[in-house]
Amino acid sequence: MTSLTVGPRLSQPISLRFKADWGQANLTRIAGWLNQEIGDRAPVGSEFSIHAGRGGADAVDALEAGAVDIALATPAAAARLLYDGSGPVSRSAAPWLRALGSIAHRDRLVVAVDAALPVRTVGDLAGIAPELVIATSQDDGINAIGLAAHYGLELADADPDLLRAAGARFITDERPFPLVHAFAMGEANVLIQEAVMMPAWQRIADRRPVRYLEWGDAVLEGFARLGWPSATIEQGYLPGLDHELTTLDFADFVLLCREDLDPEVAYLAVWCMVKTRLALEGQYGHLPQDRTPLGYPLDPAEMRRTPVPLHEAAVRAYDDLEGEGPLTEGLLWT
């Protein structure tokens, strides 16, 4: 059988397993894109699967256990902590962890409160603990949102355990959107969440005025020491945001693997990421560039900047493809 597929091909059949997110979000879409593009360049008899995941430390756990071959996690800064075993991560370092690349995801971790609360910074929350219902994700060793939110509160002298002991109540969920909705409906008066580009955030002030809190220098500097950067949100991007807000960066989706991933597979994965990237971009192009969960156009120079070391074959692929444009013909969604 003659194939019209362009690009390198694997020399022997493979069984390639991806670990992504819950099923309806961006990591699964990225895994599906590469599943197809690598599959088109694999011999007959190859098998591919996408395992549901949480996009956090479970990605590294699955790789360490040998349950999957490529796993996706977000944000990039959290992947660095998992590699180092540093900061609030209560686990051993993973020096065997490697990356294939990053996919742009421009996001922030934001603290929003009911404007009626007498607070201006995150640290101020400690003084009104009995009044607080805080909506954020659980700090369970897996969820990166919960890890960053709880560690940020601790660094701001608003330790979550002390807040609870003083009467604050936490409501948690694995994903942002139930919590953003709970805040918008008045079921919580503090929201610590990400996915700020999504429409749900534009409804949080429909019922009452809101205020956005600065994390404060102690928090931003504490995260910076771990290699976790801060970032800004421009005035007007969120409802009622009347100034530029400095907060924690929550950017980028990272494709992770083990250092012993077959070099031929690692090389082809990067080749597909670089050369067929329009097939992924095409699934987001209907969204404005400042409101998309996947940043486009994708830039290979940004793809290769990863929070953990690149797989050796990935380095070779990026070097070989430097300066080359993407394929424009024969791609789905283009």
Could you say which DSSP state residue 228 is in? -
- Longest alpha-carbon distance in the chain: 72
> Is 3 a residue whose pLDDT tops 60?
no
Segment 200-221 mean pLDDT: 96
Instruction: Please write the tens of the pLDDT for every residue from 85-98.
Output: 999 988 899 999 99
pLDDT band at 4 (very low <50, low <70, confident <90, very high): low
Mean pLDDT of the chain, nearest integer: 96
Q: What percent of the chain has pLDDT over 90?
A: 95
pLDDT of residue 1: 36
Instruction: Please write the tens of the pLDDT for every residue from 251-302.
Output: 999 999 999 999 999 999 999 999 999 999 999 999 999 999 999 999 999 9
> What distance in Å separates the CA atoms of residue 147 and residue 71, rounded to the nearest whole number?
19
Q: Which residue in this structure is represented by tokens 């009626």?
A: 116
CB 231 within 8 A of CB 324: no
Nearest Cα neighbor of 176 from 31, 55, 60 is 55
Buried b (16+ CB within 10 A) or exposed e, 86-104: ebbbeeeebeebbbbbbbb
On the 0-12 / 13-18 / 19+ scale of CB atoms within 10 A, 301 is exposed
Q: What percent of the chain has pLDDT over 70?
A: 99
> Is 32 a residue whose pLDDT tops 70?
yes
SS3 278: helix
**Token code pair at residue 287:** 């969204």
Amino acid at residue number 164: R
pLDDT of residue 2: 42
pLDDT of residue 292: 97
Segment 10-34 mean pLDDT: 97
Q: Determine the straight-line distance between the first and last CA of the chain, rounded to whole angstroms.
A: 25
Note if the pTM is more than 0.85.
yes
